[in-house]
Structure 1
Amino acid sequence: MRRLLPARPSAARLLPTFLLAAFMLVGGLASPAGAHPMSTSAVLLDVRGDRVEGEVQLPVDRLAVAVDRDLTRETVLGAERAFLKRYTAEHITAVGEDDRPWTVRLGTGSVRTIDEVAHLVYPLELRPPDGRVTTFDLAYDVIVEELLTHKVIATVRYDFDRGILKTDDAETLGVFDFDTKSLKVPAGEGSWIRGFATTAGLGIEHVGEGADHLLFLLMLLIPAPLVAAEGRWRSVPSSRRSIVHVVHVVTAFAIGHSLTLALAATGVINLPTRPVETLIAFSIAVSAVHALRPLVARGEILIAAGFGLVHGLAFASLIGDLGLDRGSLVTTLLGFNLGIELTQLLVVALMMPSLIVLARTAFYPAFRIGVALLGLLFSVSWMLERATLTSTDPFEGVQTWLVDHPLLVAVTVAALAVVARRTAPRTPFDGDGALRSGAH
Structure 2
Amino acid sequence: MVKLKWLIMILAIVFLISSPVANAHSNNSEGFSKIDVQDQEINYNLQLDLIELSHAVGFKMNEQNVENLEEMNDIINQNKLPLQEYMNTHIVVYADSIPIEGTINQMSVLKIKERAFADIILSYSVNKIPENLNVRYNVFFEDSDPSHANMAKVQIGEKQQEFIFTYEVRELNIGEMSFFTSAKQFLLLGLKHIFTGYDHILFVISLLIGAVTIRHILSLVTAFTIAHSITLALATLDIVQLPGKLVESAIALSIIYIALKNIFQPESKHAPWIAFAFGLIHGFGFAGILAELNLGATHLAASLLFFNVGIELGQILIVSLVFPVLIFINKRLSYKWFLPSVSTAVLFFGCIWFFQRAF
Q: Tell me how far 1:320 sits from its aligned partner.
A: 1.8
Greater CA radius of gyration, 1 or 2?
1
Classify 1:335/1:292 alpha carbon distance in 2 versus 1 (closer, same or farther; 3 Å): same
User: How far did residue 55 of structure 1 move?
Assistant: 3.4
Question: Is the alpha carbon distance of 1:248 and 1:172 closer, same or farther for their aligned partners in structure 2, counting shifts above 3 Å?
Answer: closer
SS of residue in 1 equivalent to 2:163: coil
CA shift, 1:158, in A, is 3.7
Cα shift at 1:191? 1.8
Tell me what 2:10 maps to: none
Q: CA deviation at 1:336?
A: 1.0
Residue-by-residue CA offset, 1:40-63 (whole Å, 9 max, x unaligned): xxx96268xxxx984379xxxxxx
Question: Which one of the candidate residues 329, 336, 344 is aligned to 1:365?
Answer: 336
DSSP 3-state at the match of 2:239: coil
| Alpha-carbon shift at residue 362 of structure 1 (Å) | 5.5
Match of 1:253 among 199, 224, 227: 224
SS at match of 2:287: helix
One-letter code of the match for 2:35? Answer: L
Secondary structure, aligned partner of 1:165: strand
Which residue in the other structure is 1:268 paired with? 239
* Aligned counterpart in structure 1 of residue 177 of structure 2, from 182, 187, 190: 190
1:264 to partner: Cα distance: 0.3
Which structure shows the higher helix fraction? 2
Aligned to 2:270: 299
TM-score between both structures, scaled by the size of structure 1? 0.47
Q: Residue by residue, what CA displacement relative to the aligned partner does 1:202-242 show, whole Å, maximum 9, x if unpaired?
A: 111111011101110111000011xxxxxxxxxxxxxxxx0
Answer yes or no: is the 8 Å Cα contact 1:165–1:322 preserved in 2: no
The match for 1:239 is none
1:344 aligns with 2:334: no
In structure 2, what is the Cα distance between the partners aligned to 1:56 and 1:337? Answer: 27
**What are the superposed Cα offsets for residues 168-225 of structure 1, whole Å, 9 maximum, x if unpaired?**
678568xxxxxxxxxxxx4332222211111111111111011101110111000011
| 1:136 paired residue number | 131
What does residue 284 of structure 1 align with? 255
C-alpha distance 278-56 of structure 1, shift in aligned 2 (>3 A): closer
Q: Give the Cα–Cα distance (whole angstroms) in 2 for the partners of residues 56 and 323 of structure 1.
A: 14
Match of 1:204 among 191, 210, 220: 191
Greater RCO, 1 or 2 (C-alpha within 8 Å, sep 6+):
2
Question: Does 2:343 match 1:385?
Answer: no
User: Which runs of 5 or more residues in structure 1 are unaligned?
Assistant: 1-42, 58-94, 97-108, 129-134, 139-154, 174-185, 226-241, 389-440
- Structure 1 residue 356: Cα displacement: 2.2
Partner of 2:164: 165
> Aligned pair in 2 of structure 1 residues 295, 189: CA closer, same or farther (>3 Å)?
same
Cα deviation digits, residues 240-282 of structure 1 (max 9, x gap): xx01111111111100100000000000011111110000000
Counterpart mapping for 1:38-437 below 5 A: 45=35, 54-55=43-44, 111-112=106-107, 136=131, 157-158=152-153, 164-166=163-165, 186-225=173-212, 242-294=213-265, 298-360=269-331, 363-388=334-359
May I ask how many residue pairs the two structures share in their alignment? 238
**What are the Cα deviations for residues 48-94 of structure 1, in whole angstroms up to 9, with x where unaligned?**
xxxx984379xxxxxxxxxxxxxxxxxxxxxxxxxxxxxxxxxxxxx
- Letter of the aligned partner of 2:164 in structure 1? L
Q: CA separation of 1:327/1:380 partners in 2, compared to 1, >3 Å: closer, same or farther?
A: same
Determine if contact 1:276/1:313 at 8 Å carries over to the other structure. yes
Identity level (%): 33
- How big is the alpha-carbon RMSD for the aligned residues of Structure 1 and Structure 2? 3.9
> 1:169 and 1:320, CA in 2 relative to 1: closer, same or farther beyond 3 A?
farther
Return closer, same or farther for 1:273/1:363 CA change in 2, 3 Å cut-off. Answer: same
For residues 210 and 306 of structure 1, the distance between their equivalents in structure 2, rounded to whole angstroms, comes to 19
User: What secondary structure is seen at the aligned counterpart in 2 of 1:270?
Assistant: coil
- In the alignment, the residues of structure 2 paired with residue 347 and residue 360 of structure 1 have an alpha-carbon distance, to the nearest angstrom, of 20
| Whole-angstrom distance in 1 between the partners of 2:131 and 2:151 | 13
